[in-house]
Structures are given as C-alpha cells and as structure tokens.
Amino acid sequence: AVAPDLAGRHVVISAGGTREPLDPVRFLGNRSSGKQGYALARTAVARGARVTLVAANAALPDPAGADLVRVTTASELREAVLKAAADADAVVMAAAVADFRPAARAESKIKKVPGRDPDPIALVRNPDILAELSSAKTPGRVVVGFAAETDDVLANGRAKLAAKGCDLLVVNQVGEDRAFGAEENEAVLLAADGGETPVPHGPKEALADEIWDAVARLLRGASAG
Ligand code: C5P
C-alpha cells in the first residue's frame, strides 16, 4: 500500500502536447505522448490527492479517479490550468507546450498553387504558462516544470529553473527515441534550493513517485514554516 501523503491536497497536472492550428486540417505539434503526465495523475490518485489532469491530445486511457479536462492548443491549456490552479496545492507542468503558434489560422484548407513556392509560416509567441504560474505563486504552493534537453542537460536545466522561477524542474535528455513516447524515463530533479536528485532509468510511474516525494516534502516544509 502507498502512504496517502497527498490526502487533502489538490494537484493539477498538464500532460501531452499542444497542437497549434494552421488551417482546419493542419497543425504544428510535437512528439509528446502524455505518458509521463498520465503516470503522474495515476500515482497522485494512489497517494490520496484530488487530481485535475489537463490533457492535450493524448491517446491514453482515462486515469481512474482524476478529473480530466481535454484541450488542444496552448491557449486552451493555459485557461484550463489557471482555472484548476486557483485552489491547487501543486501544479506539475508535464505537457509539451508549443512556444510559438501560427500568427494566423486560415478559415479554409491552405491550397498548393502549382508552380508557386509556399508562403512562409509566420509565428507568434505563446504565453509561458509555467513562468506565469511561478510568478503568481501563492505561498505554500509548489510549482513543477519539465525540461527536455538534448545537450548540456544539467547546465541548461539550472538556467531554465532560474528563468522560469519554479520550485522543481524535472530535466530529461531527449532525442531520437529517448523519453518521448517511451515507456521509461530517466531524469534529474533540480530544486530551487540547490537540491539535485538523479532518478535512474525506469518506468514513468517510478519517476512520477520521485516527483511526488519531492512535492510532498516541499508541501510539508511549507506548512511547518
Ligand atoms: O521553455 P521550455 O518549453 O523548454 O520549458 C518547458 C516547461 O515549460 C514545461 O514544464 C512546459 O510545460 C512549460 N511551458 C509552459 N508554457 C510554454 C512553454 C513551456 O508552461 N509556453
């Protein structure tokens, strides 16, 4: 049996990958499967939390016992997460959120014109939800981000943790067939207080439980202080 160390806590988890429409049939997207976020939802339910899972385009079974909100775009994900976060004790941003979206969304399918080169796709920046959650943080709330890096994983992770202002950053090395879509993951948990916890290669549930251990510790520290 698992210790119900998240009982009485509301945790919000984002999972999957956002899709930014170009026209009614096309989008800019990414390779996130949602598996790590869903593993976080299942393990949080097992540890007694009330769980809101904001899922972007994941084709996975609904996790039993969690409130599921489905979204498509980064701006929908932002709205759903901010709404659910109003009374949350912890927010874990496991979703791969598009940094940019097409500046315009065509009403009709974009046609290819024979003999003409395609128009370039103009992009605009999406709001950074993790940075927004971190800067608007109520005392005692724990905010966790993810970083998928291909190079200089730890140095880039430290810089990202500072830039985003979150309490914990889960850094994993991606590329080729690592992490995205896989059943297993390997990561380092970087804490704003300087802590560094390597989590060896293993099931996404095991990494999820390591993340909840760290979150539960921070929540206990906050209520003790
Ligand atoms: O900056 P980068 O995309 O590498 O940061 C990844 C982390 O930031 C993830 O936790 C992701 O959910 C979050 N993010 C966000 N809003 C964005 C882009 C990323 O919340 N627009």
Confidence at residue 74, expressed as pLDDT on a 0 to 100 scale = 98
- Which residue stretches of the chain are H helix? 35-46, 74-85, 129-135, 153-164, 204-224
Q: What is the mean pLDDT of residues 122-135?
A: 97
Q: What is the mean pLDDT of residues 208-216?
A: 97
In this structure, the residues whose C-beta lies within 6 A of any atom of ligand 1 are 74, 93, 95, 97, 99, 126, 128-130, 145-147
Task: Pick the more confident residue, 153 or 66.
Answer: 66
Interface ipTM above 0.95: yes
What is the residue-averaged pLDDT of the chain?
A: 93
User: Exposed, middle or buried by CB within 10 Å (0-12, 13-18, 19+), for 192?
Assistant: middle
Q: Is 30 a catalytic residue?
A: yes
Q: How far is the CA of 15 from the centre of ligand 1 (A)?
A: 11
pLDDT band at residue 177, thresholds of 50, 70 and 90?
low
* Cα–Cα distance, 75 to 54 (Å, whole number): 12
Q: What is the mean pLDDT of residues 169-193?
A: 81
Give the residue, by CA position, lying nearest to ligand 1 atom 9: 146
Q: Tens digits of per-residue pLDDT, 18-76? A: 999 999 999 999 999 999 999 999 999 999 999 999 999 999 999 999 999 999 999 99
* Cα–Cα distance, 134 to 139 (Å, whole number): 11
* Cα–Cα distance, 192 to 180 (Å, whole number): 25
| Residue closest to 221 by CA, chosen among 161, 146, 139, 165 | 139
What residue type is assigned to position 38 of the chain?
Answer: Y
The answer on pLDDT for 4 being more than 90 is yes
Number of neighbouring beta carbons within 10 Å of residue 87: 11
Q: How far is the CA of 117 from the centre of ligand 1 (A)?
A: 33
The answer on pLDDT for 213 being more than 60 is yes
The answer on pLDDT for 225 being more than 60 is no
Looking only at the bridges linking them, the beta strands covering 142-149 and 123-125 are unpaired
Q: For residue 163, give the ligand 1 atom closest to its CA.
A: 1
The answer on pLDDT for 175 being more than 90 is no
Residue set of the binding site for CTP: 99, 109, 127-130, 146, 160, 164
Query: Residue 125: what are its φ and ψ, rounded to 5°?
Result: -75, 140
